[in-house]
Structure 1
Amino acid sequence: MKRTRRINILRSIRSSLNRFLSIVAIVALGSGFLAGLYAASPDMFETADSYLDDYRLYDLDMKAPVGFTEDDAAAVAALPGVEALLAARCADMVLETADEPRITATARVMGTLGTDGFLSLNRFRLTDGRMPERADECVVQTTAGRYTEKALHIGDVLEISRENTDYVALCGKVTATKLTVVGICESPMSISVVAEPTAVGSGSITHMVYTPAALFTGDTYTDLFLTLEGAAALDAFGDAYKALVAEFADRYTPFATDRAAARIDGLKAQVQDTVRRLRATVQSLESARQTERTLLAALPEQIAATRRTAEALAGSPQPGAAALARDLDRTADALQARLDASGGEVPESPALTEAQAGLETAQSTLNSLELARDTGWLFRTREDNTGFASYKGNVGKVAALCHIFPVFFFLVALLVALTTMTRLVEENRTQIGTLKAIGFSGGQILSEYILYSLAASVLGCAIGLTVGFRLFPAAISSAYGMMYFLPDTATPFRTDIAIWAAAVTVGSILLATLWATWAEFRACPAALMRPKAPGAGKRIWLEHIPFVWRRLPFSIKVTARNLFRYKKRFIMTVVGVAGCSALLLTGFGLRDSINDIVDKQYGEIYRYQLTVLTDSADAAESDDALRDFLADKTRIAAHLSFSSQNGKVLSGGTGGSVSICVPADPDAFPDFITLRERRSRKPIALDDSGVVLTEKLCEELGVRAGDRVTLENAAGQRADLPVSGITENYLTAYAYLTPEAYRTAFGQEPSFTTLLCRAADGIDADTLTQGALAGEHVLFARSSLSLKQTFADSIKSIDAVVFVLILSAGLLCMVVLYNLTNVNICERRKELATIRVLGFYPRETERYIFRETNTLSFLGALVGLGVGVWLHSFVIRTVEIDQVMFGRTVYLRSYLFALLISVGFTLLCNRLMAREIRRVDMVEAMKANE
């Protein structure tokens, strides 16, 4: 009996090989897609984590405004939990090549190499050249992919540029002002083409420069790089690692605060002594100058008195009077010459000028120390590294996509498998009835179909998992190769994912098999051994419209009747193709939504090109360099003073972070930032009636226009305000108020320390930022042109991921159509043989079937476009991260692409299945079962 079942199973596979292989293909696609996409994020994270651990990237980068001493470094190294420490001297500066063509680089120079070139932490991999051997040699890494025109080569000589505002101070910090490039490297300190921000040069770090520690002078360090015990064993992108680093920083923040305060107090004492000494010197010199000024003021009267006395003596007969008169005249002439030479003013005292300059510098240093005391030591984690944060965020977006697409993808595959198994059982009704009649139990017969589907699903899983674990992670990670400097992603076979993916796949196919066989196994053997009675003939709804029906050609009438006759196939084909079309439209729509962020945020909403942060509200007037820059119409067309601070918006027990923005001139504000409703594109007026909030923030809080919210500013003050408008915005959350609304809400004046600048035509980003950073009171400058490019670069990889999803959906569409068309042909072999006998040509016979397939596919594609709109909306709301809103519009071209791909795969499937129609054996198909 077992041998008979085995023979039956093998015979079933051999007689329906195409159908068996189609199940294998659909299972392979489903399981491979499911497992491969789920494995992509872990593979990419593990590869990056291994790379960062191998090259010992820091876990914490500690910074201090006044630097660290050797004692500070030793104290930190001795803290429990610290595995290793690297004390380093680093500086951001503008370097330029000594030879033509001159290349200007905004560089981060890191003096971290030991005398033997050894690096205990933050190691790098040489891709060319050698390690530095002298203080005036360096290894460089170009950190931003878009700076290919600034690539450096071995042998280039870099020198400190005079463009640095603190050029003299920088030269005093180093032992060599020229560095020779002896090596090119890749470093975990900078893994992304997205450049780190800086306050010098172009505003973005274009190169990392590694030099021996001997390059820098001084007895303090700018950075203490730490690795923590147990951190290397954790996933650097996981919550456990983040918690470990945060716990260490929180635990030793009081320690850092105390040491920073003690050092700053000691420095303050020294500076205060200097201030007192210089103040005494200034007072003494000013007192002497005042005395001289008093004497100078008395000179005219003294000269006049001397001349009067000389005149009186000149007429005196007294002996010696004439000589005395001549002496007095000479004295008066000398005093007059002195008065003429001074111009009536006491000349400047170089000593006093020097003392006053020293006092001003000392007082400024004292003020800086006061600010530094409040700041203390800073703990920077890997999350503060632009490349690390960018990689984590982008791979996280891929993970979000992969949690949605495979599920929908898999449901379509399951539907097709159910159709295939249903058809297989229907074809074998007579065999099932015969086996039941001769004594086989239902379980024994059912086991044949279970084993059939199990063989197909296991084989499909084996192929799909093997290929999926290699193909999808590699394809997705290769897309990231354009953005990140990382090793090739390792793609191991993940047993945990494979087990549950195979279990879900095989289990689903087996459930579909049980569903397909259940009705047939409940019938008696006699009923099963007879052909299933055809359904009762019915008139379709078109026949009730004689005006239309009578004018249709015969072929169209037959097609229409067949479409409504086979309702199950109608539903299966429409649903299957609709699912694939929905996936295609979602993929294309997702690309539209991502691109909208760049195009709309930086093209339509942000209308300025430069943001400048200053240290005071009057910097635009008091800073000569900044004032000249803003007044230069060849560079800046217009500018607007702006107040920006971090805050919160609270509503109904929930809240969200927000940037509170107040323009100094609300009337000029629309020239710099567009406020409008997204759907109607109607402008929103910024007035004193309330606060304008961005759309994503309002969605998260459940707030509508007219509702009241609580706004909290940076100082912790709260105010209850009505929402006067909800504006379209894609990056970051904003709350816009007028100055009057801000004053009314918080009872104080906003501080306008930010400048928004509109650039003149033809000005590039580097020119803008360099011009702004020349200002003495400028703390930070960033071009929105470079931000736009940075964000555009960061989403290129998502485009590639979307392409993988679209390609997979297209392949699924092909398999679905092939499978359903194959089932259709098998069901209607007798019908096809009949029309061939009646004289239909091969082409006419093909059109007889394919006309139905094309109609159902086109209808399914249209339905899929409707479903795709909903799926797209669901997907973008699921994958959105905090303070980022994807575009909500799917453009016409995406609908056309999805429709054309569905139609294209339908036509391709028709070409492949035409052979099956020609191979129908007419005699075999038309013989009676009796």
Structure 2
Amino acid sequence: MMTPMTKNMWREIAANKGRFIAIILIILLGTLIFVGVKAAGPGLNDSMATTVEAQHLSDVQLFSTTGFTAKDVDTAEQVSGAQAEISKFKYVTGGKNEDVVALYGYQPHAQQNQLKLRSGHFPHANNQIVLDEWAKREYGYRIGDMYRFNQQAKLRQRTYRIVGFADSPRYIDYSTRGSANVGDGTVRYFAYLQPKQLNLPTATLLTVRFKSLQSLNTFNDDYQTAVNKKVTALKRAFKPQARERQQQLSAKINRSFEPQQKKLTQAVKQLAQLKQAAGNSAVLQQQQQILEKNQAKLTAAMKAAAAKTHTVYTWQTREDLPGFTSFGDTSNRIAAIANVFPVFFFLIAALITFTTITRMVEEARRQIGTFKALGYTKWAIARNYLSYALMAGLIGAVLGSVIGNITLPRLVISMYHMSIPMMTTVPVMWGVIALAVAFSLIATVGAAVIVVRRELAEKPADLMLPRTPKSAKRILMERMTPLWRRLSFNQKVSYRNLFRYKSRMWMTIIGIAGGTALILTGFGLNDSIGSTASQQYGQIFHYSATVSLAHDNQSQKAMRVLEGTNHYRGAAKVHMTAGKVKANGDQLSDVNLVTPKDQQQFKKYVTLSHPLTGNGLVISQKIASELKVKAGDKVDFITAAGQKVTLKVTAVTPNYMGVFAYMTASAYRHAFNAPPAVNTLLVKLDRQSSQQQNQLARQLMEHGDALGTSFASDQETTIKTMSSSMNVIVLIMILLSGVLSFVVLYNLTNINISERIRELSTVKVLGFFDGEVTMYVARENILLTVFGIILGYGAGWGLLSFILNQATTSQVVFPVIIRWPGYVVATLLMVLFTLIVMWVTHQKLKHVDMVEALKEN
């Protein structure tokens, strides 16, 4: 049987359902986005980790210039916990558009890198091929089609029948399949044939998987540290193996040339004997010349064959596979957003909830005084309001946590399914949920504890009397007599009331400003991430493509190819080298050092904030921020070959994509004691179609002595993909921010009306029309809304800047941009919410019982 106190609590909930639901909604929204966005990043990582684990993705990939044998498998498995496999692999061209294809030999019993069949079946016969699922989606291939390879692929046959489509754990992102040294240099998709069809004498790829690493998440630092240690152990094991492999091949080559060498040696001996017997005739001299030529040819052939025995290993881990780094960057970016945006969102929700609970308890002064007069203990009275706050807080927190943990990460992952094939695994964020529940209870129960304790300290007689109203004070505007005289009576009342109830004023401003800031931040995230490429290639870089040359100072062939196309508009010759920059005990890798051949021409291709002068170095802002250096400081640049030079920083220049440093040719010569060799062309082109770009890249590879061509449009596409991957998160943040703003404004207006019901009833009794009574309150809301929106503009910009600073990656710095539609939508939403609340308030005030309201103490 319920006690009178419990009955009273349920009556209070029934009588003020709107307020109880509003508290639940505010807490629910706060915890939903706090837990949901926090779970999105880990959800992506766990889903991908589960996917690659299910398909047994290798931890390490090893390529060799001389191939692999069973002995190499044994060498790899000397490392503790290693499981190794060898397979045949090479890059070839084929298909409708001579696409670059990553071609593998299919092994039905492979324990690593297992294919996931999407349709059809695996290639069991010699004339069958399985293609990448992306080849079906993007290039229109179908099961039963005939697929034809280029002659240069050197396969057993050129034409195969497509029997299936599959996904591979090696390729987790449909938008990127890596680069190659054939065709146009960009891999379009992968394919699998029977191993013999690749026509390779030995395996060309060795993969290693460690059982001990499979319990670690691929994208965590613990995994990276562990796999790096394993790579170090593998390199140590393969060091003598490289020498042994080279010796074996050299011996084999020598044996293959022995018969020819013996024949030549015998012919030389016979010729010598003939010279002794018959003298050195013209015929014998001619035969000697022929033998010498044959010997020279044989020696050259032996040297060329010996050069091919030089064994060089190329090591890769998972982060070197196409798409892995960008996927990790995206999940880290979401995690960075989750560290700021939801916290700010939740703090606003908690602050408003705290205010609402405080007002609710203060309104119950008469009840508290009555219960106290009836002899109830302080704990019994307090428990009534603490239970109310606890119930509202728990319902909102639990519902928000469950809905957030289940829905938001799955929405994000489902969006990724369009471009990344992966399973869905969402971790239960127990720690985050506990934190959200704790903060929710602090905002609800904590507020109730503070206010109830304060109220219970008073005597019952004092509690049953209404609290003495705040005395009106002259405000600053009243001292401005010319202005104050021009204001109407209603305007004067509104301004006085605003400053009379300062706490309510600031709560409304904070609520409006916070909502505006959150909505602006959502739009700004989309604008900033999406504009990164246009800022880079519009304001800083003014070229369309980068062509890497195969040989230093040999740009003639590439220039002939470029000048032969109608789209060519010019090129700048530069020396570009990658290295590391060190300063203040920190290090930044993958820094591109650019040295132009002609500085005046270079200005047309790259805009720097400061001109290149003297022997110093102009660095991009990423280097400056990461290494904490500025103009005048010194940094160490270490080339890929290990050469270290100390350089003075002359200026810091803006840059958004990649990490760059610039110096003059004279500065380079002074620092490195060698002239900078031209190895890269920065090329300006008219707009080209994707097919035209691929054709140009192919021509540069085949006839221009180029290693590869990188187009700005590809970078822009990558950024657009990155931006679109954030769309779901951004949309959710905008929608929930809007809902929170509306609930906050509605709740604070209700508090305002309930506190001033006698005042409003008095105004109504005095003969004010319904619209005038509504405007009596709404005018204050309009002023606070305007002020809150303006304040929200600044807060939104600051919040966006902070989030983007946290979300930067090793290669990308995001510009802070909020385009005008963001401001317009945020403003219109706030105005719309204010108008809706005004309409609801108007309906409520029309039906106020003035007599009952005025009878209240």
The separation in 2 between residues aligned to 1:462 and 1:914, in whole angstroms, is 34
For the Cα contact (< 8 Å) 1:422–1:513, is it kept in 2? yes
Selected match of 1:178 from 156, 159, 162? 159
Alpha-carbon offset, residue 408 of structure 1:
0.8
Aligned pairs (5 A) from 1:454-469: 454-469=390-405
Alpha-carbon offset, residue 202 of structure 1:
2.7
From the superposition, tell whether residues 584 and 757 of structure 1 become closer, same or farther in structure 2 (CA, over 3 Å). Answer: same
Deviation by residue 1:567-595 (Cα, 9 ceiling, x = unmatched): 12111101121112122222222223212
Query: Are residue 513 (structure 1) and residue 513 (structure 2) matched?
Result: no
Q: 1:478: which partner in 2? A: 414
Alpha-carbon offset, residue 8 of structure 1:
2.0
Q: Which amino acid aligns with 1:447?
A: R
Q: 2:504: which partner in 1? A: 569
Farther off after superposition, 664-673 or 523-532:
664-673
The separation in 2 between residues aligned to 1:355 and 1:760, in whole angstroms, is 54
From the superposition, tell whether residues 73 and 794 of structure 1 become closer, same or farther in structure 2 (CA, over 3 Å). Answer: same
Deviation by residue 1:823-846 (Cα, 9 ceiling, x = unmatched): 111112222222233333333322
Q: 2:515: which partner in 1? A: 580
The separation in 2 between residues aligned to 1:213 and 1:198, in whole angstroms, is 20
Deviation by residue 1:186-236 (Cα, 9 ceiling, x = unmatched): 222212122312222232221111222232234410111222122322222
Q: 1:224: which partner in 2? A: 206
Q: Which amino acid aligns with 1:54?
A: A
Q: 1:680: which partner in 2? A: none
For the Cα contact (< 8 Å) 2:170–2:322, is it kept in 1? no
Q: 1:879: which partner in 2? A: 807
Aligned pairs (5 A) from 1:56-455: 56-77=56-77, 79-83=79-83, 85-96=84-95, 102-114=96-108, 118-143=109-134, 149-162=138-151, 167=152, 170-171=153-154, 174-192=155-173, 193-271=175-253, 363-367=303-307, 369-370=309-310, 372=311, 375=312, 377-455=313-391
Q: 1:523: which partner in 2? A: 458
For the Cα contact (< 8 Å) 2:636–2:646, is it kept in 1? yes
Structure 1 residue matching 2:599: 3-state secondary structure = coil
The separation in 1 between residues aligned to 2:451 and 2:40, in whole angstroms, is 35
For the Cα contact (< 8 Å) 2:533–2:715, is it kept in 1? no
For the Cα contact (< 8 Å) 2:526–2:723, is it kept in 1? no
Q: 2:481: which partner in 1? A: 546
Larger radius of gyration: 1
CA RMSD of aligned residues (A): 3.2
Q: Which amino acid aligns with 2:248?
A: G
The separation in 2 between residues aligned to 1:435 and 1:384, in whole angstroms, is 71
Q: 1:649: which partner in 2? A: 581
Aligned pairs (5 A) from 1:746-785: 746-762=672-688, 764-775=692-703, 777-785=705-713
Q: 1:595: which partner in 2? A: 530
Q: 1:318: which partner in 2? A: none
Q: 1:295: which partner in 2? A: none
The separation in 1 between residues aligned to 2:323 and 2:634, in whole angstroms, is 39
The separation in 2 between residues aligned to 1:923 and 1:827, in whole angstroms, is 16
Alpha-carbon offset, residue 271 of structure 1:
4.8
For the Cα contact (< 8 Å) 1:609–1:759, is it kept in 2? yes
The separation in 1 between residues aligned to 2:808 and 2:841, in whole angstroms, is 42
Q: 1:739: which partner in 2? A: 665
The separation in 1 between residues aligned to 2:788 and 2:126, in whole angstroms, is 70
Q: Which amino acid aligns with 2:492?
A: K
Query: Are residue 819 (structure 1) and residue 747 (structure 2) matched?
Result: yes
Alpha-carbon offset, residue 55 of structure 1:
1.5
Alpha-carbon offset, residue 364 of structure 1:
4.5
Alpha-carbon offset, residue 2 of structure 1:
7.3
Q: 1:795: which partner in 2? A: 723
For the Cα contact (< 8 Å) 1:57–1:189, is it kept in 2? yes
From the superposition, tell whether residues 917 and 36 of structure 1 become closer, same or farther in structure 2 (CA, over 3 Å). Answer: same
Q: Count the aligned residue pairs.
A: 841
Q: Which amino acid aligns with 2:720?
A: A
The separation in 2 between residues aligned to 1:352 and 1:787, in whole angstroms, is 56
For the Cα contact (< 8 Å) 1:278–1:356, is it kept in 2? no
Farther off after superposition, 469-478 or 774-783:
774-783
From the superposition, tell whether residues 13 and 882 of structure 1 become closer, same or farther in structure 2 (CA, over 3 Å). Answer: same
For the Cα contact (< 8 Å) 2:46–2:426, is it kept in 1? no
Alpha-carbon offset, residue 275 of structure 1:
8.4
Deviation by residue 1:785-836 (Cα, 9 ceiling, x = unmatched): 2232123213321233222222221111111111111111111222222223
Q: Which amino acid aligns with 2:727?
A: D
Q: Which amino acid aligns with 2:26?
A: I
From the superposition, tell whether residues 353 and 808 of structure 1 become closer, same or farther in structure 2 (CA, over 3 Å). Answer: farther
Query: Are residue 903 (structure 1) and residue 835 (structure 2) matched?
Result: no
Q: 1:847: which partner in 2? A: 775
Q: 1:666: which partner in 2? A: 599
Q: 2:797: which partner in 1? A: 869
Deviation by residue 1:600-641 (Cα, 9 ceiling, x = unmatched): 1133322222323333214324xx5x4531442425433333
Q: Give the TM-score, by structure 2 length.
A: 0.91
Q: Give the TM-score, by structure 1 length.
A: 0.84
Structure 1 residue matching 2:212: 3-state secondary structure = coil
Alpha-carbon offset, residue 274 of structure 1:
7.3
Alpha-carbon offset, residue 422 of structure 1:
1.6
Q: Which amino acid aligns with 1:90?
A: F
Q: 1:7: which partner in 2? A: 7
For the Cα contact (< 8 Å) 2:614–2:664, is it kept in 1? yes
The separation in 1 between residues aligned to 2:291 and 2:420, in whole angstroms, is 57
Q: 2:626: which partner in 1? A: 700
Structure 1 residue matching 2:80: 3-state secondary structure = coil
Selected match of 1:917 from 845, 850, 856? 845
Structure 2 residue matching 1:113: 3-state secondary structure = coil
Structure 2 residue matching 1:667: 3-state secondary structure = helix
From the superposition, tell whether residues 366 and 808 of structure 1 become closer, same or farther in structure 2 (CA, over 3 Å). Answer: farther
The separation in 2 between residues aligned to 1:796 and 1:355, in whole angstroms, is 65
Farther off after superposition, 895-904 or 454-463:
895-904
The separation in 2 between residues aligned to 1:151 and 1:598, in whole angstroms, is 29
Structure 2 residue matching 1:725: 3-state secondary structure = strand
The separation in 2 between residues aligned to 1:889 and 1:354, in whole angstroms, is 71
The separation in 1 between residues aligned to 2:203 and 2:427, in whole angstroms, is 43
Deviation by residue 1:150-204 (Cα, 9 ceiling, x = unmatched): 2311122111225xxxx1xx32xx3222121111222222121223122222322
Aligned pairs (5 A) from 1:609-620: 609-620=544-555
